[in-house]
Structure 1
């Protein structure tokens, strides 16, 4: 973090807080490691060195603390993103904070170290996780309370809040978060599968708007349907369309600004990439019935195969062309506005820039 310059100068309180509240104090004795096929347990008593390596794998690595039905369902978020989101929150001493998703309790402890005892309420849907998080917070004398509740509903009993922060990703910001935040207050949340936003509630309390702050990949809310994976969507039938691809694909992997723009324009499309000696290949699917592969064949040749009611390779290229036509906006050029009856992502200007509706997964056309 020091070598990369990741400690934010405008929030000098964060580094001492993490020094005083290190990750391992909030990590359970059983962690989970992905072995390439499945999550396998890593127990502290059986292999303390491996356990510690999972806790401190690096600032960009999350530590999986719970697995449900073969999928990671809770984690210690990667430290670099935790720091970035805390910086985006612009938290001041004495402010009242609502956290959505207590998890291990680590983030709540960091919040309480800044806001002060009795100023942080964290909600957690899983009762067992809530109990364990409260025990860790009490052991650290953090002065934060954990309530068992659905984070999407917030926690009205202690509202209004000066700051609201979510530790899980949403496609739509729940309106309850806005109504429970005082005018001028700030909401920081991961949005979709890529990026987090910081919204400021308007003076009249009838909207919240703000800019994308950085990249963040967080788990969705508990109970979110993961949808079908690529193999399930692809099936075994033949492709319905085949054509050459003349576009250079490496930016799909290497350019975070392009990836974010595609995420905005194609909100329900999952894009995976992999490189080999022939070049970069990509796999696309919408979690329902449409798919595409962009297969590198070597010698600079790439071919697209597509199937289902949508032509995802075509949609990808159109959205890519739109991004180029807009002058390659960076992810920091995007923002979000939340109102009672609609919410949308915009580029460069909330009123005059291009807009895309933000809604639950489904095909979203370009607008504006």
Structure 2
């Protein structure tokens, strides 16, 4: 793969970002930073491609075109850079997600930044390009990744410190910072992230399996509150409980060969569950441990729901004129929980994902809709709750 070929792929990515409206208008510096620090400068020589059954290696030396094609496969595509137990454990995030999160950070020259989850070092590099020399400290739990990132950051001529530590458990590597930028998903924000930020500073992080959030630390430092910024899926904290498997095989494993314990007709067409992402986000807020999968057949959309443990439900479309069926089993009636959350979302006026936010205090965390004083749902608790 020649430098000329890579230059062409970079240019196409730039154009696709513009075509999709992915260059943030409020952060024009990001387009310049992407050009100055292209993602291929932070990619290892082996990437991994999913072929529908397994992850297969793409080695730059063996298949340079395939390697570059995977790295620049689209605005919304991440590039898998590491596997652990045959599952992805590190990646170069999708370009649109990187730009969207750094835009949400509202980063200015001179800001002190704690970048959590260095990976290959690309987001730390972009933040350093904006904040300035010596202004970014990045934390990585994997010693090999940290060493790799150091070499790539140095090759780019950046003065960026990379420390080996667990950013979730160990807390900040120095004094107070203006910004915290996390690159892996957490369900609940570690309180150490809040105490690391000066009053008025911002924390941008992926929240659970869907969406990322920007919090602002209160003047007294005793809370942080902010709005959902967009949808994106990130790998989870390595030391947190594993995120639920979202394959149909996981649903099958939960259900096993059990017959339904309840069976009833419902008056809801499952179709919106397949493509209405505002609805899906609302369900994620209200029933956070519900894993939802959908598929189509000649009768319409079917939905399979499980909690990763023992409870499951199937919402099945039937031929024209016949109402869908809800089948459920296990200790919970997780299908009923999802339908109740769906009805609640409609009662609230079908708010979109950007109408939700999160508040974090030392004692509790909760999601809310419409504003911090609106309906709320406790984070870390399964039950649906409206304040």
TM-score, normalization by structure 2: 0.92
Is residue 233 from structure 1 mapped to residue 254 from structure 2 by the alignment?
A: yes
* Contact 1:279 1:300 survives alignment (8 Å): no
C-alpha distance in 2 between matches for 1:81 and 1:91: 16
Task: Give 1:164 shift.
Answer: 0.2
1:97 matched to 2:116: no
CA contact (8 A) 1:230 1:285 kept: yes
Match of 2:193 in 1: 177
Q: For 1:297 and 1:250, locate their aligned partners in 2 and report how far apart those are by CA, in whole Å.
A: 12
Where do 5+ consecutive residues of structure 1 fail to align? none
Secondary structure of 2:127 counterpart? helix
Once superposed, what is the RMSD of the aligned Cα atoms? 1.3
Aligned positions of 1:10-89 closer than 5 A: 10-89=26-105
State how far apart, in whole Å, the 2-side matches of 1:38 and 1:81 are: 25
How far is 1:155 from its partner? 4.5
Q: Which residue of 2 aligns with 1:271?
A: 292
**Preserved CA contact (<8 Å) 1:123 1:154:** no
Q: Is 2:139 aligned against 1:140?
A: no
Describe the SS at the equivalent of 2:96: helix
SS, match of residue 101 in structure 2: helix
- Aligned length in residues: 365
- SS at the partner of 2:367? strand
Cα deviation, residue 246, structure 1: 2.6
Segment drifting more, 142-151 vs 297-306 = 297-306
* 1:165 maps onto 2:165 in alignment: no
The answer on 1:253 being equivalent to 2:269 is no
**1:306 pairs with 328, 331, 336, which one?**
328
CA distance, structure 2, for counterparts of residue 225 and residue 231 of structure 1: 20
* 1:365 to partner: Cα distance: 2.4
Matches within 5 A, 1:353-364: 353-359=374-380, 363-364=382-383
1:12, 1:284 → 2: CA distance? 41
Q: Are 2:314 and 2:335, in contact at CA under 8 Å, matched by a contact in 1?
A: yes
Q: Which residues in structure 2 correspond to 1:256-335 (within 5 Å)? A: 256-299=277-320, 301=322, 302-335=324-357
* Contact persistence 1:102–1:123 (CA under 8 A): yes
Per the alignment, residue 19 of structure 2 pairs with 3
Deviations 1:96-148 (A, max 9, x none): 00011001100000000000110001101111111101111111112111110
CA contact (8 A) 2:114 2:172 kept: no
Residue 158 of structure 1 aligns to a residue in which SS?
A: coil
Q: What displacement does 1:237 show?
A: 1.7
